[in-house]
């Protein structure tokens, strides 16, 4: 069965180019030219991935991503932006995007990022992973800490799964980047720190202890405090 991608962009040159490129790569493609139509398209035909432009008529891409996440949609979002500033990218990630690509971009790079996001959603085995009071169910995509269900985006879930597979093992930044995103952002790897922050906030809600510890100069480790 072909994987389905929704492209939300008001630039018809871009949408035509992406439709042809993605179709040639073996995907089915739906196009929406504004944010409202994009939100409706997700309901009408749920995609496996969304390519979302920031600058849209009506509601912008940041707001589209926010509404999708608030509505419980966990589908990966690749955000396109003409804004190259780090803060703009962080805004997109905080709004619910899983990855970002700055315009103009190379089609090979876009396809590589699409493939990485698609792989992330295909967990090879159905497992129930446990660490302390945290349970991660790969089949239901559910995380529970104690008695509380922890709502995670697809990227947050993938990152936590890497830690849960290797508890108490220090994981270098490059390993985490490769395992979750499929490549290294190089000098722009602050995306990892952003998502570590998201995970900590959600896992530590209601006074729960910190389990993702920083190992300065190396990376991060899943372990209990004071160890």
Write the CATH number for 39: 3.40.50.2300
pLDDT at residue 108, rounded to an integer: 92
Total of domains in the chain: 2
The DSSP result for 171-226, as a single string, is EEHHHHHHHHHSS--GGGTHHHHHHHHHHHHHHTGGGPPP-EEEETTTEEEE--TT
Q: φ and ψ at 35, to 5 degrees? A: -65, -40
Does 125 have pLDDT greater than 50?
no
pTM greater than 0.85: no
pLDDT at residue 87, rounded to an integer: 73
pLDDT at residue 60, rounded to an integer: 93
Same domain, 149 and 97: no
**What is the token pair recorded at 149?**
């269900």
Same domain, 61 and 27: yes
Please state the rounded mean pLDDT for residues 99-119: 89
Whether 22 contacts 31, CB under 8 Å = no
- Give the end of a domain, one of 120, 144, 162: 120
Q: φ and ψ at 144, to 5 degrees? A: -125, 135
Share of the chain above pLDDT 90, in %: 52
Q: What is the extent of the structural domain holding 205?
A: 128-222
Each residue of 173-201: pLDDT tens digit?
A: 888 887 787 665 554 558 889 999 999 99
Same domain, 83 and 105: yes
Confidence of residue 202 (pLDDT cuts 50, 70, 90): very high
pLDDT at residue 124, rounded to an integer: 42
Domain of 186, CATH number, reads 1.10.10.10
Looking at the domain assignment, is residue 227 inside a domain? no
pLDDT at residue 183, rounded to an integer: 60
- Give the end of a domain, one of 71, 102, 120: 120
């Amino acid at each position: 069965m072909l994987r389905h991608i929704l492209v939300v962009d008001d630039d018809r040159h871009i949408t035509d180019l992406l439709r042809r490129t993605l179709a040639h790569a073996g995907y089915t493609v739906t196009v929406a030219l504004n944010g409202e139509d994009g939100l409706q398209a997700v309901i009408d035909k749920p995609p496996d991935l969304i390519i979302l432009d920031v600058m849209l008529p009506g509601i912008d891409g940041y707001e589209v991503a926010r509404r999708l996440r608030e509505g419980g949609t966990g589908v990966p979002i690749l955000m396109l932006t003409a804004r190259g500033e780090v803060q703009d990218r962080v805004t997109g990630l905080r709004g619910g995007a899983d990855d970002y690509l700055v315009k103009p971009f190379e089609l090979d790079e876009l396809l590589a990022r699409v493939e990485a996001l698609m792989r992330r959603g295909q967990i090879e085995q159905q497992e129930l992973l446990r660490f302390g009071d945290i349970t991660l169910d790969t089949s239901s995509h559910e995380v529970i800490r104690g008695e509380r269900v922890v709502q995670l985006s697809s990227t947050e879930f993938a990152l936590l799964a890497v830690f849960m597979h290797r508890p108490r093992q220090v994981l270098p930044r490059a390993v985490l980047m490769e395992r979750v995103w499929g490549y290294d952002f190089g000098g722009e790897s602050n995306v990892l720190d952003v998502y570590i922050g998201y995970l900590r906030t959600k896992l530590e809600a209601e006074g729960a202890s910190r389990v993702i510890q920083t190992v300065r100069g190396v990376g991060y480790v899943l372990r209990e405090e004071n160890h």
